[in-house]
Amino acid sequence: MKTADPELMRAINRFHVLDTIRRFGAISRVEIGERTVLSATTVSAITASLLDDGLISTRHEGDLRGGGARGRPRVMLTLNPEAARVVGAKIASNRLVFCVTNFQGDVLASLTLPVRVDRLPVEVIADLVEDGVRRCVMDAGLALNEIKTVALSLPGIIEHGTGRVRSSAIFRDPNVSLKEAIVKRLDIDTIVESDANAITMAEHWFGRGRDCDDFVLVAIEESLGLGVLHGGQLFRGARELSLTLGDMIMGSDPEHAIKLSELASERAILDGDHGDSRVRDAIRLGQGMGRVRGLIEEGDNELRIAAARAGSALGIAIANLVALFAPPRVILVGSTLALGDYLLDSLRVAFAKAIPDPLKNVAQIVIDEVSDELWARGAAAVALGELYGSPWGTTGPARRSTAIEFSEK
């Protein structure tokens, strides 16, 4: 009786071997087998294929002539950084951030364009993205035809497979075909991703989640994003939809359901458009919450109360996430963290009160104030994950998180 699809099994095993080489650097075939629980024959066949494809390279360690050593030098396997180059980008309301990376995720060039783009027509935003990609590629000393994939990330609800933006604070209209607009300009394979998923991949590849294959990430900015990593893969909803936290229902009144975004987003903290011109200018420069913190320290009690209210709402929301997923780690990122303890003190108190007793010591909460470049680098990591040949395309729910040994008859 046929119990598994051999092609799927090969794809899963190939991905895990390549990802193991990425994660652990120079590594021997024996060590790959130990970490993936694959047989020596399977590892040998997969690595031979990866070498043929130019995705990995060999490095010899040891010297037959030195110290009277006998036997062959160890053959170590590493990624071939020149196998592909990709561009990752973060599209925020007040800036565009780009980076070019090689196949192992090293940054070759980065670029930030401090321009307000929210609510511009999609054609104008696409023109700005095109200019940014072309400039960053040139800064990396490359030609556009040397770029394998462009990966864009932005807040909102994104259909990963189609590249359609169902809704985003960046665009005036819903259901924007951003992928189509960029491919038309650059003629390069393009991925459109939620910024929360991009920074989740960045944390897994380069940051506070490198040692963890299962964690939840909460992005606290103008929009409230959610990334869930399970078995080393991004979890997605139906139709490969990204996840959003801002629409989590926190309660209701006689008029409407109260969403988390109404309590904890930057707009909620500012209660709409703030009257202080210094705050408005700081928001345009992407430094709004830093300025708010300064005003709180100067004695603005209304903003202090708003920041504490946001922290309390976030603490309850995170307790709900832990109750749902029981992740070993929850990583908090985003510009709102600039509020510091004015936000985090109430978050910790609310979380401690809301979390059920059996789950009190399950999740470690990690605060990580990441750079804009890391968000763009995360988008690049999404593109690289697909080039690595993940059978899930780093997208859909992880069907399986371990390599699988099978035999053909």
- Name which of 124-128, 237-241, 396-400 the model is least confident about: 396-400
Model pLDDT for residues 46-81, shown as the tens digit of each residue: 999 999 999 999 988 765 455 555 556 789 999 999
Provide the 3-class DSSP secondary structure of residue 61. Answer: strand
Q: Dig out the tokens for 78 from the structure.
A: 């590493």
Q: How does residue 222 score in pLDDT terms, banded at 50, 70 and 90?
A: confident
- Give the number of other CB atoms < 10 A from CB of residue 314: 25
pLDDT tens column, 330-343: 999 999 999 999 99
Tokens 């980076």 belong to which residue?
99
373-385 pLDDT tens trace: 999 999 999 999 8
User: 84-200+374-387 with 210-369: one CATH topology?
Assistant: yes
Mean pLDDT, range 125-135, rounded to an integer:
97
Q: Tell me which of 281 and 366 has the higher pLDDT.
A: 366
pLDDT of residue 390: 65
With a cut of 90, say whether residue 232 has pLDDT above it. no
Please name which of 241, 213, 238, 243 lies closest in space to residue 227, comparing C-alpha atoms: 243
Q: Domain 6-82, what fold?
A: Arc Repressor Mutant, subunit A (1.10.10)
Report pLDDT digits (tens) over 84-110.
Answer: 999 999 999 989 999 999 999 999 999
Per-residue pLDDT, 363: 96
pLDDT confidence tier of residue 406, bands split at 50, 70 and 90: very low
Domain boundaries, the chain: 6-82, 84-200+374-387, 210-369
Question: HSE on the CB side for 351, CA within 13 Å?
Answer: 24
Label residue 407 by pLDDT band (50, 70, 90).
very low
Q: What is the DSSP string of 126-156?
A: HHHHHHHHHHHHHHTT--GGG--EEEEEESS
pLDDT of 402 strictly over 90: no
| Tokens read off for 11 | 């794809």
Q: What is the rounded distance in angstroms from the CA atom of residue 135 to the CA atom of residue 147? A: 13
In the CATH scheme, what is the homologous superfamily, with its name and number, of domain 84-200+374-387? Answer: ATPase, nucleotide binding domain (3.30.420.40)
Return the CA Rg of the chain.
23
The confidence score (pLDDT) of residue 70 equals 58
- pLDDT of the residue at 10: 83
* Per-residue DSSP letter, 364: E
Q: Which of 156, 172, 330 is nearest to 247 (CA)?
A: 156
User: 4: which 2 tokens?
Assistant: 């598994």
Segment 162-185, tens digit of pLDDT = 999 999 999 989 999 999 999 999
Looking at the chain, the whole-number percentage of residues with pLDDT higher than 90 is: 72
Q: Which of 169-173, 176-180, 246-250, 273-277 has the lowest mean pLDDT?
A: 273-277
Please give the pLDDT value at position 399: 36
pLDDT at 398: 36
HSE-up of residue 241 (Cα within 13 Å, Cβ side): 11
Average pLDDT of every residue of the chain: 89
Q: For the chain, first and last CA: distance in Å? A: 11
In a 13 Å sphere around the CA of 186, the CA atoms on its Cβ side amount to 33
What CA–CA distance (Å, rounded) separates 244 from 217? Answer: 11
Q: Read off the DSSP letter of residue 73.
A: P
**Average of pLDDT values for 18-25?**
90
Q: Is the pLDDT of residue 392 over 80?
A: no
- pLDDT category at 4 given cuts 50, 70, 90 is low
Stretch 252-279: mean pLDDT: 81
Candidate from 68-77, 133-142, 180-189, 230-239 with smallest mean pLDDT? 68-77
Question: Strand 95-101 relative to strand 107-113: parallel, antiparallel, unpaired?
Answer: antiparallel
Q: Answer whether residue 400 shows pLDDT above 90.
A: no
Q: H helices then E strands: how many in the chain?
A: 13, 18
Is the dihedral angle over the CA atoms 385, 386, 387, 388 positive or is it negative?
A: positive
* Lowest-pLDDT range of 10-24, 94-108, 223-237, 393-407: 393-407
Given a cut of 50, whether residue 346 has pLDDT beyond it is yes
Largest CA distance in the chain: 84
Strand order in the sheet with 189-194: 107-113, 95-101, 86-92, 149-154, 189-194
Give the right CATH number for 210-369 from 2.60.40.720, 3.30.70.2740, 3.40.50.2300, 3.30.420.40: 3.30.420.40
Task: Check residue 242 and report its DSSP letter.
Answer: P
| Position with higher pLDDT, 397 vs 390 | 390
